[in-house]
């Protein structure tokens, strides 16, 4: 099973200015998150961000925040507890009611809903806290969850690795930035290839 850009959304968890200096391999992790966000935009994949208690931990890295459609400020460790799921799977729009001159309801075409993007590519910090709890809740909410390991970390390597073990056991797919990118592309013939390739060189 390969990732499909048309079915994917990208969630970037808590790359916050006061947290990142304490994160194991923080600069490389943030660089991969930025790479993912830029490539997601090129591939027309929606990008969402979260920030844990931003009044205390500051906002996300400014360049990363600018690449997100929206950023959810939260106090729960799991962003799903604070409405992320509604962003990822918006409620269906009610059908428009007819008036006396319109067709009977049974002859009206149903309102067009955008296709559901049920594949969530997720990365962030800390891997064993906010990322883990958000990803586990999304799995429980029946999203397909792919964790980008080289764009995730914790303050310690041991905590990061324990999170990956638990996520894999819960059914998340563990991938790397380049795995995501080349699966979204699928071919060197797509129009975005040259721009994407420049970002991962």
**Centroid of chain to Cα 24:** 21
pLDDT for 181:
96
Block means of pLDDT (10 residues each) for the chain, length 201 residues?
Answer: 95 97 97 97 97 96 97 98 92 58 60 75 98 98 97 98 98 97 93 90 80
Q: How far apart are CA 50 and CA 111, in angstroms?
A: 31
pLDDT for 106:
60
Q: Are the C-beta atoms of residues 37 and 12 closer than 8 Å to each other? A: yes
Q: Are the C-beta atoms of residues 137 and 81 closer than 8 Å to each other? A: yes
Q: How far apart are CA 40 and CA 46, in angstroms?
A: 7
pLDDT for 147:
98
Class of domain 5-86+116-200: alpha beta
- Beta strands 8-13 and 70-74 are unpaired
pLDDT for 76:
98
Going by C-alpha positions, the residue among 93, 79, 97 that lies closest to residue 9 is 79
pTM listed for this prediction? 0.88
pLDDT for 160:
98
pLDDT for 195:
92
| Bond into 54 cis (ω within 30) | no
Going by C-alpha positions, the residue among 126, 169, 171, 163 that lies closest to residue 145 is 171
As a whole number of Å, the end-to-end CA separation of the chain is 25
């Amino acid at each position: 099973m390969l990732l499909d850009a048309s079915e994917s959304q990208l969630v970037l968890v808590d790359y916050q200015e006061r947290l990142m200096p304490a994160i194991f391999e923080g600069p490389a992790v943030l660089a991969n998150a930025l790479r993912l966000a830029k490539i997601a935009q090129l591939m027309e994949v929606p990008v969402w961000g979260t920030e844990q208690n931003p009044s205390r931990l500051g906002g996300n890295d400014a360049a990363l925040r600018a690449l997100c459609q929206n950023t959810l400020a939260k106090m729960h460790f799991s962003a799903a507890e604070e409405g992320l799921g509604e962003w990822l799977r918006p409620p269906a729009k009610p059908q428009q009611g007819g008036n006396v001159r319109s067709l009977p309801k049974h002859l009206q075409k149903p309102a067009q809903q955008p296709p559901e993007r049920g594949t969530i590519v997720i990365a962030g910090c800390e891997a064993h806290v906010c990322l883990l709890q958000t990803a586990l809740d999304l799995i429980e909410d029946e999203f397909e969850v792919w964790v980008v390991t080289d764009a995730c970390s914790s303050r310690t390597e041991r905590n990061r690795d324990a999170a990956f073990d638990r996520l894999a056991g819960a059914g998340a797919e563990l991938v790397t930035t380049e795995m995501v990118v080349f699966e979204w592309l699928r071919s060197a013939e797509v129009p975005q290839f040259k721009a994407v390739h420049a970002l991962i060189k």
